[in-house]
Chains A and B, each alone.
Chain A
Amino acid sequence: MNDSSQANVLLVEEIRRGKPTAWSELIAQYEGRLLSFVESRLRRRDASEDVVQETFIGFLTSLPNYDTRRSLESWLFTIAAHKLTDHLRREGRRPALPFSSGDGSAGNWEPPGSDREASSIARSGERRGMEDAAVTAGIAEQIERWQAAGDWQKIQCMELLFVLGWGNKQVSEALKLTEQQVANFKFDFLERLRKIVRGQRLSEDVFPELQG
């Protein structure tokens, strides 16, 4: 999925120039789906609207960090997820966990702050970004091929294995495939990703699923 269309790039450029009409347009485009996302969890309209409001404010404060090559919708939902996590934590519904870049509003969508060692984060972040971009592009290309060929079952198979983390047996039962078929699909897919990692001389150590 990619919504980083030219229209969105232009919209963000206008917002960066401080155009209220562009900002109003972005709100109109995305507030409904963001509200639905938050409300599905909170079940309370007032509190959900507050979280969406914080999301839009968060978007504007993080705008200097937003790369328009990235999907605008995904960026907004990432901010909303962080704001929602904060809200749930304040309410005591979400148990506190140790600080992490992937949990809570101190995540990587915030503008560079003074509370972390910016240089080390930037260095490691750059490396991680390269690894992520290379493998993500490989997965996306494979999915597009399957979609073009109408091979939806392979997408379902990989989604169950990797996105939900199901075992081969459970996947084979759900999709009415043999376990051997699931294993073959999985092997072919991972082999393709391994080639990408090796081809770009990335460390295989940080992709544990590709080792084997």
Chain B
Amino acid sequence: MSTPFTDAELAAYLDEDLPQERMASIEQALRDDPTLGSRLTGIVGSRDAGVHTVGAMWRRNRLSCPSREQLGSFLLDVLDTNQAEYLRFHLNTVGCRVCNASLDDLRTHHRAEEQVGLETRRKKYFESSVGYLRSDD
């Protein structure tokens, strides 16, 4: 039975480097299709024999991954259009797990900072105005 997975994806699977849905698909297929296991074993053997692939070097060294700062700019929507489009491709089409994790983390920080900002603002408004509170009694 043939499978839709490329060798590059199977190599990425070995490194826990595909999006979760794709990882789960491969794991399911491994249970159903013994030939997929043989392909994986072949990839493992090839690596152990010292064979290099461009994709593995590219992924392992994260050669086209944006920096943390660029991901932050992407989140704030201040990247130029072409670069932002590339980042969307890298995050969604390539599905880079590490960059997606980093972006999630930045979102969490951003929300936390917004929350701190909100609380600081409310405190400032309260403290600067509370002295004017009058009781009707």
CB distance B98 to A209 under 8 Å?
A: no
Of A85, A128, A156, the contact of B50 (CB 8 Å cutoff): A128
CB distance A100 to B57 under 8 Å?
A: no
What's the least CB distance linking B79 to chain A, in Å? 12
Considering residues B90, B97, B101, B105, which has the most beta carbons from chain A within 10 angstroms of its beta carbon? B101
What's the least CB distance linking A48 to chain B, in Å? 11
Within 8 A of A (CB), among B64-86: 64-68, 82-83, 85-86
B14 sits at the interface (CB 8 A): yes
Given known contacts A33-B105, A77-B98, A155-B86, A209 and B64 CB-to-CB distance under 8 angstroms = no
Q: Which residues of A sit under 8 angstroms from B83, Cβ to Cβ?
A: 152
Q: Which residues of A sit under 8 angstroms from B65, Cβ to Cβ?
A: 1
Digitize B53-65: 1 where CB-to-A-CB distance is under 8 Å, 0 elsewhere: 1110111111111
A12 sits at the interface (CB 8 A): no
CB distance B14 to A162 under 8 Å?
A: no
What's the least CB distance linking A207 to chain B, in Å? 5
CB distance B86 to A81 under 8 Å?
A: no
A102 sits at the interface (CB 8 A): yes
CA distance A206 to B46 in the complex (A): 9
Q: Which residues of A sit under 8 angstroms from B7, Cβ to Cβ?
A: 165
Q: Which residues of B sit under 8 angstroms from A33, Cβ to Cβ?
A: 98, 101-102, 104-105
CB distance B105 to A32 under 8 Å?
A: yes
B15 sits at the interface (CB 8 A): yes
Question: How would you classify the secondary structure of chain A's contact residues: helix, strand, loop or mixed?
Answer: helix
- Pick the interface stretch among A14-22, A34-42, A59-67: A34-42
A24 sits at the interface (CB 8 A): no
CB distance A1 to B66 under 8 Å?
A: yes
CB distance A103 to B102 under 8 Å?
A: no
CB distance B94 to A163 under 8 Å?
A: yes
Q: Which residues of A sit under 8 angstroms from B105, Cβ to Cβ?
A: 32-33, 35-36
CB distance A162 to B54 under 8 Å?
A: yes
CA distance A74 to B37 in the complex (A): 27
CB distance B44 to A156 under 8 Å?
A: no
Of B53, B59, B68, B89, the contact of A209 (CB 8 Å cutoff): B53
Q: List A residues at the B interface (Cβ < 8 Å).
A: 1-3, 32-37, 40-41, 71, 73-74, 77-78, 81-82, 84-85, 93-95, 97-98, 100-103, 124, 127-128, 131-132, 135-136, 139-140, 143, 150, 152, 155-156, 158-160, 162-166, 174, 193, 206-209
Supply 20 further A-B pairs (C-beta < 8 A) apart from A37-B101, A102-B15, A132-B57: A1-B63, A1-B65, A2-B67, A3-B67, A33-B98, A33-B105, A41-B23, A95-B31, A95-B37, A97-B37, A131-B50, A140-B63, A150-B82, A155-B64, A159-B90, A162-B8, A164-B55, A165-B55, A206-B50, A209-B53
